[in-house]
Amino acid sequence: MSEKQSGLGAYFEELKRRKVIRVGIAYVVGAWVLMQVADATFEPLNLPQWSTALVLWLLALGFPVALILAWALEVTPEGIRRTKKQRRKPVSVAKQTVSPQTEHSIAVLPFADMSPEKDQDHFCEGMAEEIINSLARIPGVQVASRTASFQFKGTTMDIDSIGERLNVNTVLEGSVRKAGNHLRVTAQLINVGDGYHIWSEGFDRELKDIFGIQKEIAENVARAFKLTLNPSTEKAIEQHPTENMEAYEFYLRGRRHFYQFSDAGWKQAREDFSRAIDLDPDYALAYAGLADCFSFIYMYADSAVSIRLQAETNSRLALQLAPEVAQVHASRGLALSHSKRQAEAELAFQRAVELDPTLFDAYYFHGRHAFSKGKLEQAAQLFEKATEVRPDDYQALALLAQVYRALGREEQRNDARRRTLEVIEKRLQTSPNDARALCFGSVNLLEAGQTEKGMEWLERAKSSQPDDALNLYNVACVYSNIGQIDMALDCLEKSKRKGMAEVDWMMNDSDLDPLREHPRFKALLQKT
């Protein structure tokens, strides 16, 4: 086929994609009907003879306008907007075939808040997160993580660019309009490659039907992927954690604050989860969320025994209420990992995986526990599993690279470091002040010999959260790795004053090996 023929074919396909041909045909049919009506009615109405000619001229002038509008605009469930340009990718042998594991890949963006007061961000994010969790439980579907997808909130980036950045074939986006107990949700699944809407639907329901809407959206995505859900998968994506919608909203607020991964965020999340429990004393996931808050506060902000006991108590209550929910067991394992009940913690993590093999927290929390106890082989296996479940999470990858370094496995360490930097680079493009990502990235850059860039990232991390205990600890690790011992010890001591309490982690953290024999470090461990 000649280049000219190929170009004409592509142009014709673009006309079809933008629905220009369909609009043109519909316009001609409508114009013909209108002319028939004019011929039949203008004379009885005693209208001038030129009236029919005027209608014909107006219709003729309107035809190219209709075609131009069809080319430029598209009608979606959220209204009229510009038609997205079709992304054209160079054809290569490596990309012609998609493996079964990645054929059905999807990113779920935070739903847009269309509510009158514009105060439902937590609800929109929570809904998207629950859909992510449901889709992750469907065999054959690869789902971008919450962290990866949510970095594009509010962005003006095109869907095809987002899909390329996240390495997914489809993107699910939508909107939520909440007014009182009424809920209007729209959702649309878009093919990244050509911009087509594969599926779209609107849901007008009451607020109490939110869990049903989330399940329907997940099922519709599965159908669009031509996947059949078996009874066990149907059950896995079905959820109804509470009958109290106000409690559910506080739970969503809590999850949003928890993911800020800071002392202030955990303390606010603790208040949100507590409010949810006040409204529904049988809300198991709220107890699990509260337990996680106390666990992280104990590790990085307040090492009081009472905080640790609060984590254990709330995780136990969650377990009593929902013994078959995987997240509950993961939270229980995390809470128990801070006490001497290590065997129970191991069993809790294992049970979480048995109930939901796709649960990232089950592997990540367990891997952290193994690392803190010096069980590096086990930690490596668990962090590998965590990266399989969520390949776009930099935390598990960064810790995996560190574990391989401690084990002396250079080839695996270099591969994990490369993957870590790739994920962090993408993260920082949309979240440039993510202090945790900057620290983890800095360590790996410096190890790779990229000194200038590594130090720049370190300075950005320091200025981003200068007084946060966890960030101070991470900064100390970077300084330790590059031999700046006094700077590392200064940061560690400040981190300890701010509440850092993970003694086991500090004792087994290979990043701190250069400090082991220093009197200040020994004194620090004795005080902890």
170-179 and 104-108 beta bridge pairing: parallel
- CB neighbour class for 182 (10 Å; exposed up to 12, middle 13-18, buried from 19): exposed
Q: According to the CATH classification, is domain 358-412 in 1.25.40?
A: yes
Cα separation of 461 and 339, whole Å?
31
Please tell me what DSSP assigns to residue 188.
E
Cα separation of 469 and 377, whole Å?
28
Structure tokens at 182: 């009424």
Structure tokens at 31: 């114009």
Structure tokens at 177: 């309009």
At residue 424, the 3 state secondary structure works out as: helix
Cα separation of 458 and 479, whole Å?
9
Cα separation of 435 and 431, whole Å?
9
Are both 100-237 and 358-412 of the same fold? no
The residues with which 81 forms a beta bridge, in sequence order, are: 74
At residue 107, the 3 state secondary structure works out as: strand
Write the class of the CATH domain 431-528: mainly alpha
Cα separation of 283 and 264, whole Å?
24
Domain boundaries along the sequence of the chain: 3-76, 100-237, 242-353, 358-412, 431-528
List the chain pLDDT tens, one digit each, 528 residues: 444 444 455 455 555 555 667 777 777 777 777 777 777 776 676 677 677 777 777 777 777 877 677 666 655 444 445 555 544 333 333 333 333 335 789 999 999 988 887 888 888 888 899 999 899 888 889 999 888 888 888 777 888 888 888 889 999 999 999 888 888 999 999 999 888 889 999 999 998 899 999 999 999 999 999 988 888 888 878 878 899 999 999 999 999 999 888 888 999 999 999 999 999 999 999 999 999 999 999 988 888 899 999 999 999 999 999 999 999 999 999 999 988 788 999 999 999 999 999 999 999 999 999 999 999 999 999 999 999 988 888 999 999 999 999 999 999 999 999 999 999 998 898 889 899 999 999 999 999 999 999 999 999 999 988 988 889 999 999 999 999 999 999 999 999 888 887 788 888 899 999 999 999 999 888 755
CATH topology for the 242-353 domain: 1.25.40
* CATH dotted code for 100-237: 3.40.50.10610
What backbone phi and psi angles, to 5 degrees, belong to 383? -70, -35
